[in-house]
Amino acid sequence: SQQGEEDPQALSIQEGENATMNCSYKTSINNLQWYRQNSGRGLVHLILIRSNEREKHSGRLRVTLDTSKKSSSLLITASRAADTASYFCATDARQAGTALIFGKGTTLSVSS
């Protein structure tokens, strides 16, 4: 079953602009992870934020987590054409160590 929803489903921006993607989920979590997937390829782990964290940075990525609203956001600053991909949030919604449940994803297109 799908845990959450990302919005927007699709996002088109110009190089240099910032891209913000949101993710909502339904149940209590231990952590939330963001992944990137290029078309037809495997997943690349971007960042993990734990339920007791509110914000995390990694390079041009900034992730926030609001457990009261059961939502997270991924911000990519100064986007590049190479950032074009699908982005998924995933939560471990059950006991720690079990599988991730994925949102529907946001398809980001960055044009130069």
**Which residues bind to another protein, rule: CB under 8 A?**
1-2, 30-31, 33, 35, 40-43, 45, 48, 88, 90, 92, 96-105
CB 78 within 8 A of CB 61: no
Measured from the CB atom, is 7 or 17 closer to another protein? Answer: 7
Measured from the CB atom, is 59 or 97 closer to another protein? Answer: 97
Report how far Cα 101 is from the mean position of its chain's Cα atoms. Answer: 12
User: Which residue in 90, 86, 89 sits closest to 108, CA to CA?
Assistant: 86
Measured from the CB atom, is 17 or 107 closer to another protein? Answer: 107
CB 46 within 8 A of CB 31: no
Least distance to another protein, CB of residue 106, Å? 10
